[in-house]
Structure 1
Amino acid sequence: MRADTYIPRRLDDQWKIGFWDVDVAAPVLFMFFVGYMSGSKMSFAVCMASGIALSRWISRLKADKHPAYAIHWLYWHLPSNPMTAMRATPPSHLRRMVG
């Protein structure tokens, strides 16, 4: 019995929008929405240019780093609240660990 079974090789890949990771595509999509809601062509062009520039900056920042670098950066630099706090890890303001 010969069956073509598909065996996935990568289960923990980042979410993608087309060819781009979500954290790289999100600024462009958000600025597209803001530019669309502004109502003028000039502000739309400015919003899209700033969204593309921010996206390029994020992609350069992520280059040669862990795939979840953006999530780790957000954890360490944004304040924690009950919605974003993790139970298994210490709060982000505790930088020194013993053990």
Structure 2
Amino acid sequence: MQTETYIPRRLDDQWKIGFWDVDVAAPILFCFFVGYMSGSKLSFAVCMGIGIFLSRWLSRIKADKHPAFAMHWIYWCLPPNPLTTMQGTPPSHLRRMVG
């Protein structure tokens, strides 16, 4: 009685918007919104250019790193506030490793 056991490998994939990860698509979407709200075509084009530049920069940074690299970077580099603090982890200013 030999049956093949299927082990799924994609349970913890990053969220996607189309073909892009959420953290790569977020700068484009945010800049699209800001450019749309500005009301002029020139500022819309400038905002979209900035958004495309930021998303390409972010995708190059995370190219050979952990899939959640952007969240880890945000946690360690941004100041703690209610939006960036996590409940189950120590504050980011405690850098001493125990163990």
Using the size of structure 2 for normalisation, the TM-score is 0.86
The Cα of 1:81 is off from its aligned counterpart by 2.8
Q: Deviations over 1:15-59 (max 9, x none)?
A: 000000000001001101111111111111000000000000000
The Cα RMSD (Å) is 1.8
Between Structure 1 and Structure 2, how many residues are aligned?
94
Confirm whether residue 32 of structure 1 aligns to residue 32 of structure 2: yes
Indicate conservation of the 8 Å contact 2:62/2:70, yes or no. yes
Q: 1:79 is matched with which residue? A: 79
Q: Which runs of 4+ in 1 moved over 6 A?
A: none
Distance 1:36-1:82 versus aligned 2 partners, 3 A rule: closer
- Flag structure 2 segments of 5+ consecutive residues without an equivalent: 1-6
**Equivalent residue letter for 2:26:** A
Q: 1:3 is matched with which residue? A: none
Q: 1:52 is matched with which residue? A: 52
The Cα of 1:82 is off from its aligned counterpart by 4.0
Using the size of structure 1 for normalisation, the TM-score is 0.86
